[in-house]
Amino acid sequence: MNFSRFQILLGHAWRPGGCGGFPLGRHSSRWLAWTALLLLPLLGKAAGGGTAVPPAAQAAAGEKTAFSAEETRGVWMWSSDVRQEGAEAAAERLSRYHINKVYFLVKGLSGRVCYPSKLVPAGRSDRDELKEILEACHKRHIEVHAWFIFHSDGVWARSHPEDVMCLAGKRGAWDQGPQPAKDAQTAHICPLSEDYRAHFKGLIQEVLDRYPVDGIHLDCIRYTDMLYCFCPRHQALAATNGIDVAKVREAIYKTLYSPKKNSEYYFDLYRAGDRDVTGWVHMREGEIDRMVKEVRALVKTKSPSLVLSAAFMPEGGELDDAYALCHYAQNYATAGSLLDYILPMSYHKTYGKSPAWVAQIAQNAGQKSHRPVYSGIQAYGKDSPGMEREAKDNAGRAMPKNLSPQELRETILAVEKQGIKGFVLFRYGSLTDQMWEDLPL
């Protein structure tokens, strides 16, 4: 295993971002939109696509591009962006650059929320930022999806310390019993806590009942890494399933801690079908799958037309997904298949990959999940004021590397060329003016 990558993952480097312009679909959808705009009143129905609208006619209509419902030009957005810029100005910018979906952070790692909740304290303002962005975006026909982070919650950790995840720990400390992480920033909550699951779903229900959101967007719906969770609940469940927990811990020790460590040891045991390691990995996957299933039931009960999506780690889109399953327990084939669509956080530059990798991950992910997949694209061009503090609340410590406007444009075009039907940029506040200007249409 690549330890530098592992360190970044602990800090949750990855956030979804977004989207693209897409050749075939774009032409037909442009035609449909133009037709709908100008001819519908005369014809009473839309024509069936085909002939592209002449550029002069588009210019006359002020219509540079359009996207059908299946195509996504999205951004992930923090509530701090609304506080700093104002919802109207932000939505106007989104509209100008033809963004049609916003994934708006409602609950970050801190556990606080950006609206007046009856369940948890508000974040850094007493404004209702969710209401503000919804009103500004909906009048411009931009969807707003409420974005919730699952695996960490500082507010919950302070009031329920017994629910904080426990580390595998080094071998010399095993006889001291399970140890929760001491770092206050890593308030990872054990997914076996039924109280936390109910709390998480309660927040989603509260948003669904009070706001006309277009969907729920799950993030960090996974483990942070293989070091967790060895709490008493997990040890008991493993015993019930006939899993030798000591053997699992030993394998983690040999992979990460031993002076003679073999960074592939745990993954090789998994690939070889080792009974205890595979049992442990599948048990953790089952916890995540069940959470997605429960949220789906809640969302679809509210309205079948509401969308459930999620940001997934990109390694699960690799053909060999042992790394992702062993660390994150996030399975595109099982949890992914429960979603209406998936956004892999394929931030290629931070991973040292090419733009072609972004498209490849989306294609693999679609084949595994049988769901639509839109590429999450890293779109960091600047650091905004206060970002460090916000990042701790929202998305962890490590941040993706910066891209140039040209690199962002090339990545979107590479994704488009491979037929991926959408992109989501991570994240709204990190794009420079030039990056916005250079977005492909």
Decide if residue 164 touches Zn ion (CB under 5 A): no
Tokens of 96: 């100008």
**CA trace torsion 75, 80, 81, 83 (10° rounding):** 140
Give least dist CB 228 to Zn ion, A: 7
Decide if residue 12 touches Zn ion (CB under 5 A): no
Residues of span 15-74 touching Zn ion by CB under 5 A: none
Where does this chain touch Zn ion (CB under 5 A) — which range of 48-56, 188-196, 257-265, 391-399?
188-196
Distance (Å, whole) CA 253 – CA 311: 30
Measured from the CB atom, the residue of 330 and 375 that comes closer to Zn ion is: 330
Distance (Å, whole) CA 372 – CA 380: 25
Decide if residue 229 touches Zn ion (CB under 5 A): yes
The answer, yes or no, to whether the previous bond of 229 is cis (omega within 30 of 0) is yes
Measured from the CB atom, the residue of 174 and 211 that comes closer to Zn ion is: 174
Closest CA to 151 of 202, 207, 111: 111
Q: Which listed residue (231, 248, 325, 424) binds Zn ion by CB under 5 A?
A: 231
- Strand blocks (E) in 36-165: 72-77, 101-107, 143-149
Measured from the CB atom, the residue of 163 and 407 that comes closer to Zn ion is: 163
Q: Which listed residue (188, 234, 327, 427) binds Zn ion by CB under 5 A?
A: 234
Give least dist CB 32 to Zn ion, A: 50
Measured from the CB atom, the residue of 178 and 422 that comes closer to Zn ion is: 178
Phi-psi region of 244 (alpha: psi -120 to 50; beta: other; left: phi over 0): beta
Radius of gyration (C-alpha) of the chain in whole angstroms:
22
Give least dist CB 204 to Zn ion, A: 22
SS3 of residue 148 by DSSP: strand
Tokens of 182: 């001491």
Give least dist CB 329 to Zn ion, A: 12
Distance (Å, whole) CA 187 – CA 166: 10
Measured from the CB atom, the residue of 24 and 236 that comes closer to Zn ion is: 236
Kindly determine how many residues on this chain lie close enough to bind Zn ion according to the rule CB under 5 A: 6
- By CB under 5 A, name the binding residues for Zn ion: 190, 192, 229, 231, 233-234
